[in-house]
Structure 1
Amino acid sequence: MEAVMVVVKGKQLYTEYGNSFEGRPTLVFLHDSLGCTQLWRNFPFALGEATECNVLVYDRLGYGKSFPMPTHEREDRYMETEADVLNDLLDEMNINEGILFGHSDGGTIALIMAAKYPGKVKAVVCEAGHIFVEDVTVKGVRNALEAYQTTNLPERLAKYHGDKTEMLVKAWTEIWLSNRFKTWNIEHTLKNITAPLLFIQGENDEYGTLDQVERTVSQVNGKAEKFIIPNVGHTPHKEVSGMVLEKAAGFINSILKSE
């Protein structure tokens, strides 16, 4: 994996790119609301090896080793904007066949990307993404903010985000806890998704109910399947890494073999 800073619309984004499988698609990993490239650990590399695909992992603006956000204030469409940034990033890196693996906010961004730029997306693995706001999501964010204020979470996050930590936490919690964001919903875009979709979710996800899964797979226009894992929370790729790796690899390999 080669670490490269890529300039997208004047903003520097940190990427790690491995392209050892010539002529094969690229797995693109989209981290969650407090995540970054480093926090994926070995999972992207392992999935790349299991599918013989190239791998791109990147930090969104304000996260990890990318440049800081200009402000903590976010528009309701901030994830739609991130899908546009991803499209520009893939253009900059000359990646035309992307298989998206997104977790939480990253999962939502992956869905939006597949809806807006279907020509770039070969398949989507959405893990614990959101298509609308639920009370359990708001409660989860509020609990995370309380943990940030009362535990050593700031120090743990600073290991990965440095002095950007406070701004990114503020950006995430303020928008999700605001009254205006309660009506945010991307269900109207799902019909534009034609790429095959695998939706993975833990049955005990503390940030969303299984309605997120059911309403997504029922409204996309491509082949869609769900993988619900009992006794697992919001981060299946960490909690039951081997199980998620096997399922995602099987899904991706079946798509590539059918071509």
Structure 2
Amino acid sequence: MQIQDTMVSVGNDTSIEVRRIRHEQPTGPTLVFLHESLGNITLWRKFPERLAEATGFDALVYNRLGYGESSDEVLARPYDYLEQHGVVWLPRLLDALSIEDVVLVGHSDGGSIALHAAAAMGVRVRALVTMAAHTYADHLTIKGIQDMKARYRETDLREKLKRYHGARTDDLFRAWHTVWLDEGFLASLDFRQSLDAIECPSLIIQGEDDGYGVPEQVTDIVDGIGETARAVFLPDTGHSPHLERPEQILNLLCDFLPRELGVKSAVIS
């Protein structure tokens, strides 16, 4: 595989930082990884590379606006920022790279963005995988963010995040907790009614010990998508299944994707 980091122009003097993982002869659609609210390319660790190697699919990992070397985002975040990323910015990025068929793999905020994108992009999305996605805010979501806000103020969390976000750390953390604790945002955040537009095979994953979401987040997503969606709950797993249980998640995806896409079975090395 070839791994290349580059900047991609998506118009309006806006650029997005991407990592492309490519095979000489890819065997399926491109895996597109959508990171969490405090994540970035680096914080996916080796997971995208390992899944690309196991499946034979190319992969695209990118930093959303405001993260890494990508252009600044508009702050404060608008209430529809998740939808904007899924319906506007992701398709622009794929168009700029001439990527047509994709499998979306989204974690947390990235999972919610993936749901918006899958609903809007139709057959271009061949399959969907979410981990800890939200379609609304529940009591665990709000408590988890309040607890994280206190940790940021009282512990060394800020310094740990600065290793990955540098000078943007305070802006990113403030943008995240400010919008998610905004009563107007919480009242507007419920896009379950749009899930029936998703027609692709979908694997909806959540850890049973996820401190940011109730189990109904998963069951509501699956019910909203319909018969093409499957729920997976992982015991002894928190908010980041791909980091806490990488082998299990790789096995799940290496079974799910070849079967649903009709391609050669994946192999984990």
TM-score norm. by structure 1 comes to 0.96
- Cα distance in 2 for residues equivalent to 1:228 and 1:189: 23
Aligned to 1:5: 7
Asked whether the equivalents of residues 192 and 221 of structure 1 are also in contact (C-alpha less than 8 Å), the reply is no
Aligned to 1:78: 81
Asked whether the equivalents of residues 124 and 195 of structure 1 are also in contact (C-alpha less than 8 Å), the reply is yes
Residue 149 in 1 paired to residue 118 in 2? no
Of 9, 14, 19, 1:16 maps to: 19
- Cα distance in 2 for residues equivalent to 1:32 and 1:170: 15
Cα displacement (A) at 1:131:
0.6
Cα displacement (A) at 1:132:
0.8
Aligned to 1:62: 66
Instruction: Say which SS state the counterpart of residue 225 (structure 2) adopts.
Output: coil
Instruction: Say which SS state the counterpart of residue 176 (structure 2) adopts.
Output: helix
Name stretches of at least 5 consecutive residues in structure 1 with no aligned partner: none
Query: Which amino acid counterpart does residue 130 of structure 1 have in structure 2?
Result: H
Asked whether the equivalents of residues 126 and 261 of structure 2 are also in contact (C-alpha less than 8 Å), the reply is no
Aligned to 1:195: 200
Cα displacement (A) at 1:222:
5.4
| Residues 227-259 of structure 1 deviation map (CA, whole Å, 9 limit, x = unaligned) | 100111100111111101110121111122269
* Greater mean alpha carbon deviation, residues 60-69 or residues 240-249: 60-69
Instruction: Say which SS state the counterpart of residue 124 (structure 1) adopts.
Output: strand
Of 198, 208, 212, 1:207 maps to: 212
Instruction: Say which SS state the counterpart of residue 227 (structure 1) adopts.
Output: strand
- Cα distance in 1 for residues equivalent to 2:78 and 2:232: 31
- Cα distance in 2 for residues equivalent to 1:41 and 1:205: 20
Aligned to 1:246: 251
Query: Which amino acid counterpart does residue 245 of structure 1 have in structure 2?
Result: L
- Cα distance in 2 for residues equivalent to 1:86 and 1:243: 28
Instruction: Say which SS state the counterpart of residue 117 (structure 1) adopts.
Output: helix
Cα displacement (A) at 1:31:
0.3
Cα displacement (A) at 1:133:
1.0
Q: What stretches of structure 1 move > 6 A for 4+ residues in a row?
A: none
Cα displacement (A) at 1:149:
0.9
Asked whether the equivalents of residues 197 and 222 of structure 1 are also in contact (C-alpha less than 8 Å), the reply is no
Asked whether the equivalents of residues 76 and 181 of structure 1 are also in contact (C-alpha less than 8 Å), the reply is yes
Number of residue equivalences: 258
Write the mapping of 1:172-187 to structure 2, written as runs, cut at 5 A.
172-183=176-187, 184-187=189-192
- Cα distance in 1 for residues equivalent to 2:231 and 2:69: 33
Residue 35 in 1 paired to residue 54 in 2? no
- Cα distance in 1 for residues equivalent to 2:26 and 2:35: 25
Aligned to 1:92: 96
| Residues 199-252 of structure 1 deviation map (CA, whole Å, 9 limit, x = unaligned) | 010001000011000011011145111110011110011111110111012111
* Greater mean alpha carbon deviation, residues 116-125 or residues 105-114: 116-125
- Cα distance in 1 for residues equivalent to 2:144 and 2:251: 28
Residue 235 in 1 paired to residue 235 in 2? no
Instruction: Say which SS state the counterpart of residue 195 (structure 1) adopts.
Output: coil
- Cα distance in 1 for residues equivalent to 2:195 and 2:238: 25
Aligned to 2:267: none
Name stretches of at least 5 consecutive residues in structure 2 with no aligned partner: 265-269
Asked whether the equivalents of residues 38 and 173 of structure 2 are also in contact (C-alpha less than 8 Å), the reply is yes
- Superposed CA RMSD in Å reads 1.4
Cα displacement (A) at 1:19:
2.2
TM-score norm. by structure 2 comes to 0.93
Give the percent of matched residue pairs that are identical in Structure 1 and Structure 2. Answer: 38
Asked whether the equivalents of residues 61 and 67 of structure 1 are also in contact (C-alpha less than 8 Å), the reply is yes
Query: Which amino acid counterpart does residue 208 of structure 1 have in structure 2?
Result: G
Asked whether the equivalents of residues 65 and 161 of structure 1 are also in contact (C-alpha less than 8 Å), the reply is no
